[in-house]
Every structure is written in C-alpha cells, then in structure tokens.
Amino acid sequence: MHLRKRDGALDLLKWLALLSMLLDHLRYVGFSADWLYVPGRLAFPWFCLAMAANLSRAGARKTEWRYLGWLLVFSAVSEIPYRLYIPDPDTLNVMPTLALGLLVTRGWQDQSMMSRLLGAAALVLAAVFPERLMFGFFGVLLPLAMLLVFRRPWYFSLLPGLICLAANQWQVLYDSARFGNSVAILGIAACLFAPMLGMFLLRHARHLQPPPMRRWAYALYPAHFLLLLAIRQSIA
C-alpha cells in the first residue's frame, strides 16, 4: 500500500503558529512585554493558512465534518480556561471563528446544498455578531481568502494580508501607529505580510520533518491557558 508522505512544511507552520500564539498570550502572565504583540499577529493567519492547506487537498471532503466536530468540541472546552486567563475578554475564544471560517470555505468549495446553506448561515452569523467573535467578520473570511490564493503567485497573498489587517482593526492600533509607536507599526506589518511568509514557508520548507501535529494538538489550546494561568498565579 502506498503511504503519502507527510507535509513537513505544514507541520512546521502549525508549530510556529502555536508558538506565536503562546508568545502573544505571555503578555498576560504579569510582566511588561508589549513587543510580544508583534509575533502574536502571525498566529491566527497561520492557523487559517493551515486550514486552507488541508482543505485544498484531494479528499478533504471526507474529513471536513470531523474537522468541524473537533473545532466545535474544543470551542466549548476552551472557553472556561480562556476566560480564566484573559482579563475581561469581550469575545469568545478563537475556535468559533475558525469553525465558522471552515463552514464558509467549504460552502465556497462544495456545490452541495448542505455545504452552501451552512456556509451562508456561518456568513450571516459572522455579519450579525462580529463583536462576539475574535477577529470578527473578517476573521471568518480569512480561511477562504487563504484558499483562493493558495496556488497563485506570491503577490496574491497581499489580499489575505489586507483581510488579516481588517480582522485586527482595533482603533487603538491605528492611533498608536499614527503617533509612531513601533509595536503598533510592526504589528500592522506583521498582519499584512503574515500570509506571504506562511506561503513562502509552505513552498520552500517541504524537506523539513518536524514532529507531526495530529488531533491531540487541539488540546494544546485550552491546556496552554491553564499552564500560563498557573505561572501567573505562582509569580503573583
């Protein structure tokens, strides 16, 4: 039986996205590290790019419901650790945004009535309740934007870069950038170029073979909140 070789570049992208998320959330441990905001801007677009890479494969239709199921389960599992760790959160954790993004992307890919209806429903939910979703309406669109440019020349990745920037459209970010704040300026640049950097990695790092990231990695999302919470309480 022929076994398909695992995509090492995709595994590396997932590990780097996880590391970026961890660095971003270290800002809430209890010490001043605002500069971690910049690498933190890479995490969400790279997770969206990993989703697009998975959905672009032949046979993705066989696993899409399982993929959605894991996202929904860990959306629920992660909400309490997320709220325990993040001070005064005004959105849900990131998993619901990814789940809606998956439905929108499959609705675009798959011409079946069920996929189209679910994709349209996800789009309506994102449009009606953007303030409850981390990265809002544009965050839900980002996986689809990644998919649309996945096999195109590198400069097309500026489109998801703009959508990524719109998903991070906190007014304080732009106001700080206008006043010359280096963290805000670098954060905007990270949003714009994260898809391009991710695409470059996927196309030129296939020879690397990091540890495979399988389904157990979903548990790392709630687990990292609990770990960081324990660190914050130990140094308080």
**Residue 136 pLDDT:** 96
**Residue 58 pLDDT:** 65
Question: pLDDT (tens digit, 0 to 9) for every residue of the chain, 236 residues total?
Answer: 344 568 899 999 999 999 999 999 999 998 888 899 999 999 999 999 999 999 988 666 666 788 999 999 999 999 999 999 998 999 999 999 999 999 999 999 988 999 999 999 999 999 999 999 999 999 999 999 999 999 999 899 999 999 999 998 777 788 888 899 999 999 999 999 999 999 999 999 988 899 999 899 999 999 999 999 999 999 87
**Residue 53 pLDDT:** 94
- The percent of the chain in helix, strand and coil, each rounded to the nearest 5, is 75, 0, 25
**Residue 2 pLDDT:** 41
Amino acid, single-letter form, for residue 123:
L
What's the CA gap between 67 and 60, in Å, rounded?
10
**Residue 172 pLDDT:** 78
**Residue 60 pLDDT:** 64
